[in-house]
Amino acid sequence: MNRKQQRDWAFKLIFEDQIKSLNDIDQALINHEIDLDKDSFLYESLKAYVENFEKIEKIINDQIGSSALKRLSKVDRSILFLSVNEFENMEIPVSVSINEAVNIAKEYSTSDGYKFINSVLGKIAEKRK
C-alpha cells in the first residue's frame, strides 16, 4: 500500500473515530483487513493521532473556535485532524500535508469544502512560523 492509500485510510479511520472511539489501533486495522507493519505511515499516523488528540483539537479550536469545530461535518473535522497531526506530530512538511488534505477534501467533502480546509490549515501554518 503506497503513502497516498495509507493517508486515505488514516482519514477514514479518523472519520470512524468521530463516530466510534478508536481505542485499539491494531484492532481497527484488523477490522478493515489492513495488514501493515507498525512502522508504516498509516500506523504511525493513527498512533500520533490517538496520543495527541487533545493537542490537535486545541490547535484547531484556537483557529476556528470550539463551537465551529463542533458544527463542522465529520468529514471536514477528520481532514483537519489528519493534516494538523501530520505537520505537528509526524514531521510531514506543512505544504505537503495541506496539499494532501485539499485533495482528500476534493474527493470526500462538499464541492467547496476544500477551500475551507485550505484556508484553515493555511492560517494554522502561518501561526506556526
Whole-angstrom Cα distance, residue 21 to residue 7? Answer: 19
Return the pLDDT at 25: 77
pLDDT per residue as tens, the chain (129 positions): 888 998 999 999 999 988 887 777 777 777 777 777 766 888 899 999 999 999 999 999 999 888 888 899 999 999 999 999 999 999 899 999 999 999 999 999 998 999 999 999 999 999 877
Return the pLDDT at 22: 75
Return the pLDDT at 121: 95
Radius of gyration of the chain measured on its C-alpha atoms: 14
Return the pLDDT at 107: 96
Return the pLDDT at 101: 96
Grid coordinates representing 85 are: 497531526
Of 58, 52, 107, nearest in space to 79 by CA: 107
Domains and CATH numbers, the chain: 3-128 (1.10.940.10)
